[in-house]
Amino acid sequence: MPTAKRIALITGANKGLGFEISRQLGSLGMTVLIGARDKKRGFAAAEKLKTLGCDAHPMILDVTHEPSIGRAAEFISREYGRLDVLVNNAGIMEDSSLTPSTTPLETLRSIFETNFFGVVAVTQGLLPLLLRSDAGRIVNLSSSLGSLTLHSDPASPIADMNILAYDSSKTALNALTVHFAHELRDTPVKVNSACPGWVKTDMGGPQAPGTVEQGADTPVWLATLPADGPTGGFFNSRQPVPW
């Protein structure tokens, strides 16, 4: 897929994986729109990416705030007329010491608001622009912690990572991937879920084994898939993950 002059929006791009995915897409020649809910953090990240040679622009976008999604869509439509890549990266996790039986409903609602409903709202808001692209790509940052198959296997390395709100929000996100991919199957838009692996970020923590460079590889691969690439899949290290 030609990447020159393609327009990519990455949500939650002011730090962590979102920043690194933006850097890698920018270094492929894409214009990268740096989604950030905080103006100062978004502008600082875009400036830093510019110094690294990227065509980066800040975009104020809180995925839980519908008016900000609408304003972003209007701006992209006016400035670029289309969107080629949407990386739904923004995400949050609750205190992982909570057990399913002690997780407050309010916590579940808040995690789903960002990790699931936020992705639905952003995707619905930007889909008309993605459909104007000749090769639209939607990448949803999921996690192997959303895999029901892995959680059901007591021998799986994630079997004891029983984080109800986060894990189930990523399971729901994977369902979103499958359903949007089905709806869009006769269009050039591909929709996939990516697990970056466990990587060092504010969310992943300093003990994580992977780097953001490694974690960004699969999302960037999915954002730049050729026309015969997969859609409706779930991948880690460019390999399928069981649902």
Regarding 201 and contact with ligand NAP (CB under 6 A), the answer is: yes
Q: How far apart are CA 136 and CA 82, in angstroms?
A: 9
Regarding 30 and contact with ligand NAP (CB under 6 A), the answer is: no
Q: Which DSSP string corresponds to 113-135? A: IIIIIHHHHHHHHHHHHHTTSSS
Q: Tokens 């015969």 label which residue? A: 228
Distance of closest approach, residue 188 Cβ to ligand NAP, in angstroms: 25
Q: How far apart are CA 227 and CA 133, in angstroms?
A: 12
Q: Tokens 């691969």 label which residue? A: 221
Give me 216's structure tokens.
């960004």
Backbone phi, then psi, for 234, in 5-degree steps? Answer: -135, 120
Q: Nearer Cβ to ligand NAP, position 15 or 132?
A: 15
Q: Tokens 């780097």 label which residue? A: 211
Regarding 18 and contact with ligand NAP (CB under 6 A), the answer is: yes
Residues 80-109 vs ligand NAP: string with x where CB under 6 A? ---------xxxx-----------------
Taking each continuous run of H as one helix and of E as one strand, the counts in the chain are: 8, 8
Distance of closest approach, residue 182 Cβ to ligand NAP, in angstroms: 22
Residue 166 annotated among the catalytic residues of the structure:
yes
Q: Tokens 């859609």 label which residue? A: 231
Regarding 216 and contact with ligand NAP (CB under 6 A), the answer is: no
For ligand NAP, the binding residue among 116, 198, 234, 235 (CB under 6 A) is 198
Distance of closest approach, residue 171 Cβ to ligand NAP, in angstroms: 12
Regarding 44 and contact with ligand NAP (CB under 6 A), the answer is: no
Give me 3's structure tokens.
């990447």
Residue 76's region, left for phi above 0, alpha for psi from -120 to 50, else beta, is alpha
Regarding 208 and contact with ligand NAP (CB under 6 A), the answer is: yes
Distance of closest approach, residue 24 Cβ to ligand NAP, in angstroms: 13
Residues within the interface to ligand NAP (CB under 6 A): 11-12, 14-18, 37-38, 41, 62-64, 89-92, 114, 118, 141, 143, 195-196, 198-199, 201-204, 208
Active site positions, annotated: 166
